[in-house]
Structure 1
């Protein structure tokens, strides 16, 4: 059989199926009786009834879907075009992007640039985070795919411009994972996760030629959200010992900065002091062991749900959403909070 790849069953059982190229036939060999049930289960999970599999018996071949497989020492998955399948591989994803960017592909995909879709990376990452927080498996699968798409899309655009390719991206990533895990692939030894993080950061500093704390601070992306950037900077500086003694001291700093706001004489000065208040608040929350980015995001989500309750009650009772009805609207708001507590 032409264009056939062969893989030992032990390797096939340990690798993700999406790493194989099913545009070519794949022969899984050296299957023992003890491997059979594991192989069958994997094929059912990966392919369901999407494709027929050839059971290579001693007296001939028998085709069967995954759930109906009979034991054989080897099996062949016949190669097929991705449009003829419902289960896909990483190769299919790359090929799909190539088609979408081609002359006969999608007009929108074809004209995109790294700059035009850069905000999509942030949007998709946040949508994945939301799915994780909701513990929504189906949404996590979808959003993780969208994040992966951004990497493939940006790499294809860059390749078309002669800048770099997906191969360059994967090579750089694997190199980073190897060189920064010196406690796994090198001679450095670590006893726990804290030591592992310390080892990673030391390797990163060497790689990035970060000789000072200032170098590390300069490497924090300005494109981070303001809360995230402040939190990251504070965590870096904390390791030098330049930090509050405790959360109580950090809390006091908030009040000091609030006093400074009241003394502001100009719009420019007010913005300056307002920033100090927010930075101090992030510091305090950090010292409580809470991630301020997550805390604020969750708070915003709660506020949205509470306001939707206000709007619903106002419509039911013919109350206008105006400041003159603030006493009534505040009651609706407090009711929504009590309902939250009952649910919890």
Structure 2
């Protein structure tokens, strides 16, 4: 049944892909027991249309930027929980953000979701010359090196500093620090010694203590302490990376453990003056616990 009158809405292919009757009015999206990707695109187009949702229609890239971050973190949390049902839901929420932003661009005529998919497929083919071309790669390390080399050429990166600068500034700081460090040391003949990196971390803490003792004015103190803190944290991230530890994940685990420890301390001594410091001291003495992953979700 073709859409007509004020309900007419043409999606990318030039026709309304699905129409149904409700209360005698012609609608532009058909309810189903199971939907596919084309349905998702049609639904997003309808929600952004004149007859769709006022909130969806009013959104811009900037207004839902934080939603994209939030949904991504929730998907990562579902991964950490080893919960396939939750993960399926959260991946859908991330996909919604992709489709939402692509739809906004399609309305401007710059690009649409099909262009996103086309570009992604082309990139995957280009970044796998060991699969689709003549270059060989028999190990994961060789395949990753091939990927990185194609990526650098595609982005016009001439120096290693260009590669460092290309690391997204929007990444969480600990994650970005580790990635910058890995790129900085990737092509060096010998990796930095772990003991030297740990020593740098200690120097960073010493520098922080000096900043606390020497700063004369409030503004100078804030700048000196911020600089020293940043160096100490970056040094710890480089050390963690050198021993195969993800600093971002380690800090996340420590935060979770602190909350659990704080809860214990608060319940152990109700009304205590400073459970926060007691919890921190208790956390320092805790032994790490290996978390087993459920079968079938590795």
Please state which band the TM-score falls in when normalised by the shorter chain.
0.7 to 0.9
State the partner residue of 1:164: 111
Quick one: structure 1 residues 332 and 238, their matched pair in 2 at CA, closer, same or farther if it must change by over 3 Å?
A: closer
Which structure would you say has the larger Rg?
A: 1
Q: Which runs of 5+ in 1 are unaligned?
A: 1-21, 25-80
Residue among 66, 70, 85 paired with 1:138: 85
Q: Give the deviation of 1:341 after TM superposition.
A: 5.8
| Alpha-carbon separation, structure 1, partners of 2:280 and 2:239 | 30
2:43 aligned residue (82, 86, 96)? 96
Matched length: 258
- Identify the residue that residue 76 of structure 1 maps to in structure 2: none
Do 2:262 and 2:276's aligned partners in 1 also have CA atoms closer than 8 Å? no
Give the conservation status (yes or no) of the 8 Å contact 1:114–1:158. Answer: no
TM-score, normalization: structure 2?
Answer: 0.78
1:192 aligns with 2:139: yes
- Do structure 1's residue 281 and structure 2's residue 228 form an aligned pair? no
Alignment of 1:61-100 (within 5 A): 82-83=30-31, 85-100=32-47
Q: Is 1:117 matched with 2:64?
A: yes
Deviates more, 1:189-198 or 1:95-104: 95-104
CA distance in 2, matches of 1:272, 1:148: 39
* TM-score after normalising by structure 1: 0.68
**Aligned counterpart for 1:256 among listed residues 203, 206, 212:** 203
In structure 2, relative to structure 1, the CA distance for the partners of 1:320 and 1:236 (3 Å cut) is: same
- Residue 217 of structure 1 is matched in structure 2 by 164
After superposition, the Cα gap between the structure-2 partners of 1:262 and 1:182, relative to the gap in structure 1 and judged at 3 Å, is same
User: Match for 2:246 among 261, 276, 291?
Assistant: 291
Deviation at 1:307, TM superposition (A): 2.5
From 238, 242, 246, the equivalent of 2:185 is 238
Aligned position for 1:322: 273
- The 1-side partners of 2:239 and 2:255 are apart by 19
Tell me the CA shift for residue 333 of structure 1: 5.5
| Partner Cα distance (2:291, 2:91) in 1 | 30
Q: Distance in 2 between matches of 1:106 and 1:165?
A: 20
Whole-angstrom distance in 2 between the partners of 1:337 and 1:105:
54
Q: Which stretch of structure 1 is more off in the superposition, 85-94 or 156-165?
A: 156-165
Alignment partner, residue 301 of structure 1:
256
Deviations 1:273-325 (A, max 9, x none): 111100000011111111111111122122223323344x16xx6x22533x7
Greater relative contact order, per chain length (Cα 8 Å cut-off, separation 6+):
2
Distance 1:308 1:103, change over 3 A: farther
Q: Alpha-carbon deviation of 1:242?
A: 8.2
Contact 2:258 2:280 in 1 (8 A): no
In structure 1, the residue matched to 2:11 is none
Aligned-pair Cα RMSD in Å:
2.8
